[in-house]
Structure 1
C-alpha cells in the first residue's frame, strides 16, 4: 500500500480551512503517571467522564485498534484585543463567542476522512474533536502544532495559544512531523501569577479552582470562596491566555488567519437578562454556540455570582432587587437561589 506523504496530509488539512496540521505516531502517552496522579488527587472535579476509559485516553491504539498515526489539526479562533463590555455584562471566553467549534471542525474532519477512505477503503479513520478519549494536546506537540505551556494549553510558535484542536486517528502509518519544542515558557510564570483562583501550577490545572471549569462543567454549587475570583466571567475564562507573552500581538499574529466561523457573535451576556431567562430563552441565545454546554440553572448561577461582583464595584438597584427576588423565591432552582443568598449575605457584611 502506498501511504500518503506527511506534506500531502498537511496540505489536505489546510485545503479544508485548518490553520495548521501535522502528524504524530500513535504511541502511548509519556505522561501516564501524571494523569493517574491528577485523577487520584480528584483535580478533575465533577468531570466523572475523565475517570472512564483512562487506558484508552492514554493510548490511541486502545481507541482505534492497530492505530499507527494521529493526524493533528488546529483552528485559530481569536486575537488579544480589548473588549468593549458594559459594567452590567458577564464576559464570555473567546472560543465560545462564535459558532460551536465542535460542529465547525467535525464537518471538515469528516470530509478529510471521506477523502482518505476513498483512497484506503480497508483502513480506519476516526475523527476526534474534544469529545473522544484522546490526549489531543500531547499529540499536537508531537505533531509540531505547538508546545504545551505552563497553563497546559498548546502555544503555536509566533502566534500564541488561541487554538482549537482536533485529530484523526488512523491505521495508516504516516511519517510523523517534527515535534515542537517541549518548553515554551522558560522561567515565565505570568499565567500562574494572574490566575485569580490559584488554579494553575506548572503544566497542571486544578479544575476545582479553574474559572472555565466552574462556569462550564461544574453542575453543583460553587465554593463561595471562589466567587470573587470569578469576577465578570459568566462562561469560561481567558485570563491565563491574555497575560501570556506568546499571545501579545506581533507582526506574524497580525496576519494569522482566523476561521470565519469564529467571528465573535456573543462577547458578553447582560447579567440581568440572564437572570430572567427561562429554558426557551437559553436555547434561543445559545443556538449554534458551544455555550449550550451550560444548563439553564448553571448559566443563571454564574450570572448571580457575576452580579455579586458587579454590585461590589457599583450600585445597581435593579440587579440587587432581582437577586433578592431569586434568593427568597420558593419556586426558584435551588442552585440559583442558594448562590443569590450567598451573594446577598456578602452584600450585608459589606454594608
Structure 2
C-alpha cells in the first residue's frame, strides 16, 4: 500500500511514464460513484436517447460509477491520446462526389493502440507497486470515460457532450485505469464553453435537444455506425457525403485552435486512401474488397452492407449523374437496407438535370 508521503511522488512518476508512452492528458479522480453522474445517465436512458444501443441500458447498473463496476477500486486514472487532424475535417463538404470519413477512423483502430499503451502503463505500475490491482478500459466497457475525464481535470464535457481540452480541443481518445492505489485526486475541470453554441448550430440533424444533451436517434455518427437497417428518410439528405461518423460539432469548437497535429503517433495519421475516397470506387466494393480496404480500421466492424448503404445515401446526395450506374447495380442487393438505399439514390440521381 502507498503511504501518504509517497502518494504524490508515485502519481508524478505514473504521469511521467504515461507521457513517455504517448498519452497527452493525465489526471486522477476518486473511484467513488457519483450520484449526479448516475442520475444523468438514468435520465438520458429514460428519454430513449441511447436509441438501439441496448448495452447502454442493460449494463447501466455497473456503468453508473467505478465502484459499481469494481468495488475494490480506490482511484481512477483518466488518460487521453491526441488525434488532432492536420487538415480541415469539413473541407470535403464542397466535394459531394467524395466521401467523408470521421477523422478518428481514417487511421488504425484506436482501440488497439490505446489499449496497448494502457496495458504497458499498467504493467509498469504493477512493477512499482506489486501489491496493487488494476483494470484498464478503452471505450468497449461500461465506463463513463468523459465524465471521469472531467472529474480528473483533463477537460470538460462540452455542449456537444464530448470532452474538450484546453490543450487538445476535442481531439482526444480516452482511456481509464481503475486501481486499488489511493492516489491524490486532481481538481475537476471547470466548464469553459461559456455562451458559445457553435457545436449546436453546426449539427446537420439537430441532434442536441438542449446544450449538454445528445439524442443519438438523430446523430449522424450513430445513424451511420450503430444503426442497423434503413435510415429514416427525414435524415438521408442531411447525411450529405458522410459515410462513417460525423465531425461537424467537433470541428467547429473554438478550443481546437490550441490543438497540435497528432503527428507524433503514426497510428493516428490518416491513410491516404481514406482522406478523400471517391464514391464510385467505394460503391463497387464487394465483401472481400471491403475487408481488405478496411483491415485494421474501426470501419471494418460495421460490415460491408451497412457501409455500402451509407455510400448509397451519399451517392443520392451527390448530384453526380455518373454514379447512377453504380447505384443501379445495387438495387437488387441481397441486403434489404442496401437495396432500399440504392432505389432511393437512383430516384435522386435520375432527377439530376
TM-score, L = length of structure 2 = 0.91
Give yes or no for contact 1:70–1:167 (8 Å, CA) kept in 2.
yes
CA distance in 2, matches of 1:291, 1:207: 19
- Picking from 292, 309, 327, the partner of 1:323 is 327
Cα pair 1:64 1:126 within 8 Å, conserved: no
1:37 corresponding residue in structure 2: 43
Aligned to 1:97: 106
What is the 5 A alignment of 1:227-242? 227-242=236-251
CA shift for structure 1 position 158: 4.0
Shift, 1:336, TM fit: 0.3
Does the CA contact (< 8 Å) of 1:148 and 1:184 recur in 2?
Answer: no
Distance 1:260 1:190, change over 3 A: same
Instruction: For residues 63-96 of structure 1, give each alpha carbon's deviation from its aligned partner in whole angstroms, at most 9, with x where no partner exists.
Output: 2231111111100002363366554221111111
| Matched residue SS, 1:326 | coil
Match for residue 263 of structure 1? 269
CA distance in 2, matches of 1:279, 1:206: 32
- What does 1:112-191 correspond to in 2, within 5 Å? 112-181=121-190, 183-191=191-199
Contact 2:96 2:240 in 1 (8 A): no
Moved more, 83-92 or 183-192: 83-92
Q: Does 1:63 align with 2:69?
A: yes
Q: Aligned partners of 1:119, 1:162: CA distance in 2, in Å?
A: 31
Secondary structure of the equivalent of 2:99?
A: strand
Q: Distance in 1 between matches of 2:336 and 2:259?
A: 45
- Structure 1 contact 99–290 (Cα < 8 Å) conserved: yes
Correspondence 1:331-346 to 2 at 5 A: 331-346=333-348
Give the equivalent residue in structure 1 for 2:17: 12
C-alpha distance in structure 2 between counterparts of 1:349 and 1:137, whole Å: 45
1:202 alignment partner, SS class: coil
The SS at the match of 1:294 is helix
Structure 1 gaps of 5+ residues are none
Give the secondary structure class of the aligned counterpart of 1:133.
coil
State whether residues 84 and 260 of structure 2, in contact with CA within 8 Å, keep that contact through their aligned partners in structure 1. Answer: no
Counterpart CA distance in 2 for 1:80 and 1:225 is 33
Task: State the alpha-carbon separation in 1 of the partners of residues 109 and 350 from structure 2.
Answer: 40
Cα RMSD (Å) of the superposition? 1.9
**Matching of residue 280 in structure 1 with residue 284 in structure 2:** no
Q: CA deviation at 1:7?
A: 1.8
Show structure 2 runs of 5+ residues with no match: none
Structure 2: distance between partners of 1:100 and 1:309: 28
Deviation at 1:219, TM superposition (A): 1.6
Could you give the per-residue CA deviations for residues 136-162 of structure 1, whole angstroms, max 9, x where no partner exists?
Answer: 001101111111100011111143111
Moved more, 254-263 or 117-126: 254-263
Residues 151, 202 of structure 1: 8 Å contact kept: yes
TM-score between the two structures when normalised by the length of structure 1: 0.91
How far the C-alpha of 1:196 sits from its partner, in A, is: 0.7
Residues 286-324 of structure 1: CA deviation (Å, up to 9, x unaligned): 11111112211100000000001112xxx332x112212
Describe how 1:212-251 pairs up with structure 2 within 5 A: 212-247=221-256, 249=257
The answer on whether the counterparts of 1:23 and 1:69 sit within 8 Å (CA) in structure 2 is: yes
Contact 1:23 / 1:177 at 8 angstroms: preserved in 2? yes
Give the superposition deviation at 1:230: 0.8
User: Counterparts of 1:90 and 1:49 in 2: how far apart (Å)?
Assistant: 30
Q: Is the 8 A contact 1:12 1:112 kept in 2?
A: yes
Deviating more after overlay: 79-88 vs 206-215: 79-88
| Whole-angstrom CA distance in 2 between matches of 1:255 and 1:195 | 24
Task: Tell me if structure 2 keeps the 8 A contact 1:78–1:258.
Answer: no
Looking at structure 2, the residues matched to 73 and 279 of structure 1 have their Cα atoms a distance apart, in angstroms, of 36
